[in-house]
């Protein structure tokens, strides 16, 4: 079918492109909408004035501590900046149950690229704390050039039943260009980045709302794009992101999004466990960790080298062979339903990743990128041979050619927006989309499935409301539920040895959390599922959707009736 598509080209530094010839920044296919979360409105009676008054200080404090899960649930990773002065950095965390008698843990420090921090020189500090026990209250301080910070509290929860807060695209600073109190939100550096101020407040509000409803959260999974500026200095955006109240005592397993990918500030701010050399961009590569009964594998899909991602998955499975659940997080949604990405750069790795996930018995894939919510049916590969696709550099090597998908094996260039009347190009595009119908929809019913063969693919909407996209005009056959109500959202995952369940909520303007989808549950009995039957036809079941803004149909059609504009993703 004809797919209306406008691809924006984004100029990148030639040196970066040379270093990242197998990586993706991502195309901007459609404009974000004029919907966003105006913090001055929703926070008028709940803290906006205080946040606004403190913004000058917040935006210039690059030394906030970030917590990340460690290699397993007995460890906790720390990262923070300290100013570089006459004394050396002291990468030291004091941690324990007695705030007056804390144990000392030492780590490593390194120089922060000064082009990212302006006139002030910083060092990053990375430390791992070990020996944590479940259901215990701890206290910690960190050292900044030998000076200890104020004592903070960190509580562990139980690990027999793990609760995870799953969020997508906080993208602090993405509300740039929106109107607030009659003025346009800017994204200039430092405190002049009023978009970062707005979005940081809403991000803080989402975390506080989610935790008030779920005080026993173990940790957070963010599906990428923590911040907005791509390939630029953006420390005020990280400062706003890390200023959320909850993050002093809550670890976040972040994913490298396309907006995080093109400089090293991400890997300075987040001390990820089990870092690998696979899937690397400037921000870092793939990593993994164990928590409770699951292993969690985080892939940097801004790098298209699926063979490397496969190595990471196999390494993680080998490291934690007794894990009951295997959960992958990626930024780009290979099975999503948003207008902006799900049938272009989101889909580009679908034919390659689907069989890799199947072969390694992945249970759930958590995604972001499309700023819409969707939950797939249970999917597995069709067992057929399909092409491999990526975006390639343009002729002069100064940018990616976002107008064409490249067949990796044949080097065929597939125009994503064929000119009117170019029947050959349209036929190639149709074949490309048909080739990406590489999945089988498992024949299971209801909101609880037992020992499925297929994989559940979730796509999270924006957790901050900094930017939203439209849903595709027609719901794909692989989508079970989807939603776009222009409100920040989050999901709560509950994981035990034999059950995975997920609930998803949006936050109304008056601060209430309301469900936008039914609870979905996967159960495991330990039975062999190799003979699981599946519906391999192309027809879709009758759809139901909890959204106020949802279309239901049998077949996927990526065309959109709305006029599209170019913008950053």
Q: What is the mean pLDDT of the chain?
A: 88
283 in the same domain as 257 = yes
- What is the chain's length? 569
What pLDDT, in 10s, does the model give residues 177-204? 999 999 999 999 999 999 999 999 999 9
Average pLDDT of the segment spanning 28-33: 61
Instruction: Examine residue 17 and state whether it is found in any structural domain, yes or no.
Output: no
Confidence grade of residue 105 (pLDDT, cut at 50, 70, 90)? very high
Tell me the pTM. 0.88
Confidence grade of residue 566 (pLDDT, cut at 50, 70, 90)? very low
The whole-angstrom distance between residue 287's C-alpha and the CA centroid of its chain comes to: 14
* CATH number of the domain enclosing 88: 2.60.40.380
Confidence grade of residue 402 (pLDDT, cut at 50, 70, 90)? confident
Q: What pLDDT, on a 0 to 100 scale, did the predictor assign at position 538?
A: 33
218 in the same domain as 173 = yes
What pLDDT, in 10s, does the model give residues 410-468? 999 999 889 999 999 999 999 999 999 999 999 999 999 999 999 999 999 999 999 99
Tokens, residue 219: 């940790």
448 in the same domain as 318 = yes
359 in the same domain as 447 = yes
**Which residue range is the domain that position 512 belongs to?**
39-67+158-386+438-523
Number of domains within the chain? 2
Q: What pLDDT, on a 0 to 100 scale, did the predictor assign at position 569?
A: 55
169 in the same domain as 117 = no
Instruction: Examine residue 424 and state whether it is found in any structural domain, yes or no.
Output: no
> What ranges make up the beta strands (E) of 371-460?
373-376, 379-381, 389-390, 404-407, 413-415, 439-441, 448-450, 456-459
Q: What pLDDT, on a 0 to 100 scale, did the predictor assign at position 30?
A: 56
Average pLDDT of the segment spanning 84-113: 95
545: pLDDT strictly greater than 50? no
What pLDDT, in 10s, does the model give residues 333-358? 999 999 878 877 788 899 999 999 99
149 in the same domain as 81 = yes
Grouping H, G, I as helix, E, B as strand and the rest as coil, residue 23 is strand
Instruction: Examine residue 485 and state whether it is found in any structural domain, yes or no.
Output: yes
Instruction: Examine residue 428 and state whether it is found in any structural domain, yes or no.
Output: no
442 in the same domain as 332 = yes
Instruction: Examine residue 539 and state whether it is found in any structural domain, yes or no.
Output: no
Average pLDDT of the segment spanning 209-235: 96
Q: What pLDDT, on a 0 to 100 scale, did the predictor assign at position 398?
A: 54
What residue has token string 């391999």? 536
292 in the same domain as 218 = yes
73: pLDDT strictly greater than 50? yes
**Contact by Cβ (8 Å): 244, 250:** no
548: pLDDT strictly greater than 50? no
Q: What pLDDT, on a 0 to 100 scale, did the predictor assign at position 14?
A: 31
What pLDDT, in 10s, does the model give residues 12-28? 333 343 344 344 444 44
35: pLDDT strictly greater than 70? yes
What pLDDT, in 10s, does the model give residues 236-290? 999 999 999 999 999 999 999 999 998 999 999 999 999 999 999 999 999 999 9
First CA to last CA across the chain, in angstroms?
24
* CATH number of the domain enclosing 250: 3.60.21.10
111 in the same domain as 194 = no
**Contact by Cβ (8 Å): 91, 106:** yes
- Domain end among 129, 155, 181: 155
478: pLDDT strictly greater than 90? yes
What pLDDT, in 10s, does the model give residues 283-325? 999 999 999 999 999 999 999 999 999 999 999 999 999 999 9
- Which DSSP string do the residues of 87-142 spell out, in sequence order? SPP--EEEEES-TTSPEEEE-EEEE--GGGTTTS-EEEEEEEE----SS-EEEEEE
140 in the same domain as 271 = no
């Amino acid at each position: 079918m004809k797919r209306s598509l406008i691809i924006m080209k984004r100029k990148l530094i030639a040196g970066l492109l040379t270093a990242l010839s197998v990586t993706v920044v991502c195309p901007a296919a459609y404009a974000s909408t004029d919907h966003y979360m105006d913090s001055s409105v929703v926070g008028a009676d709940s803290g906006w004035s205080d946040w606004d008054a403190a913004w000058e200080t917040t935006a210039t404090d690059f030394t906030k501590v970030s917590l990340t899960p460690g290699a397993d649930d007995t460890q906790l990773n720390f990262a923070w900046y300290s100013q570089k002065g006459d004394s050396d950095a002291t990468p030291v965390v004091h941690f324990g149950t007695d705030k007056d008698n804390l144990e000392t843990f030492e780590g490593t420090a390194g120089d922060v690229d000064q082009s990212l921090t302006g006139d002030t020189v910083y060092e990053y500090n990375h430390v791992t704390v070990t020996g944590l026990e479940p259901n215990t209250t701890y206290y910690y301080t960190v050292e900044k050039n030998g000076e200890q910070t104020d004592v903070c509290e960190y509580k562990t929860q139980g690990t027999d039943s793990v609760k995870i807060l799953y969020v997508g695209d906080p993208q602090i600073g993405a509300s740039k260009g929106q109107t607030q109190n009659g003025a346009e939100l800017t994204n200039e550096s430092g405190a002049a980045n009023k978009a970062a101020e707005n979005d940081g407040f809403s991000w803080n509000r989402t975390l506080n709302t989610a935790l008030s409803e779920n005080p026993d959260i173990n940790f957070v999974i963010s599906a990428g794009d923590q911040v907005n500026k791509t390939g630029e200095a953006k420390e005020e955006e990280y400062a706003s992101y890390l200023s959320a109240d909850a993050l002093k005592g809550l670890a976040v397993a972040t994913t490298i999004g396309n907006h995080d990918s093109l400089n090293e500030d991400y890997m300075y701010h987040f001390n990820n466990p089990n870092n690998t050399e696979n899937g690397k961009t400037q921000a870092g590569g793939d990593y993994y960790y164990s928590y409770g009964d699951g292993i969690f594998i985080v892939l940097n899909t801004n790098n298209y080298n699926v063979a490397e991602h496969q190595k990471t998955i196999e390494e993680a499975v080998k490291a934690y062979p007794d894990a009951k659940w295997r959960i992958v997080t990626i930024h780009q949604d290979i099975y999503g339903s948003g207008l902006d990405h799900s049938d272009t750069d989101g889909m580009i790795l679908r034919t390659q990743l689907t069989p890799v996930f199947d072969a390694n018995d992945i249970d759930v894939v958590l995604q972001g990128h499309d700023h819409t919510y969707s939950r797939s049916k249970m999917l597995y590969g069709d067992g057929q041979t399909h092409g491999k696709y990526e975006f390639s550099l343009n002729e002069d090597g100064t940018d990616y050619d976002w107008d064409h998908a490249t067949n990796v094996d044949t080097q065929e260039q597939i125009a994503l927006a064929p000119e009117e009347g170019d029947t050959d190009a349209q036929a190639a595009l149709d074949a490309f989309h048909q080739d990406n119908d590489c999945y089988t929809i498992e024949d299971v019913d209801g909101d609880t499935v037992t020992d499925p063969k297929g994989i559940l693919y979730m796509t999270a909407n924006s957790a901050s409301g900094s930017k939203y996209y439209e849903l595709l005009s027609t719901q794909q056959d692989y989508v079970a539920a989807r939603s776009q109500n222009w409100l920040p959202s989050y999901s709560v995952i509950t994981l035990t040895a034999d059950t995975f369940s997920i609930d998803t909520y949006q936050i109304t303007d008056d601060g209430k959390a309301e469900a936008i989808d039914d609870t979905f549950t996967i159960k495991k009995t330990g039975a062999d599922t190799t003979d699981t039957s599946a519906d391999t036809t192309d027809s879709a079941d009758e759809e139901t959707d909890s959204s106020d803004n949802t279309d239901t149909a049998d077949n996927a059609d990526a065309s959109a009736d709305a006029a599209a504009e170019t913008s950053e993703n």
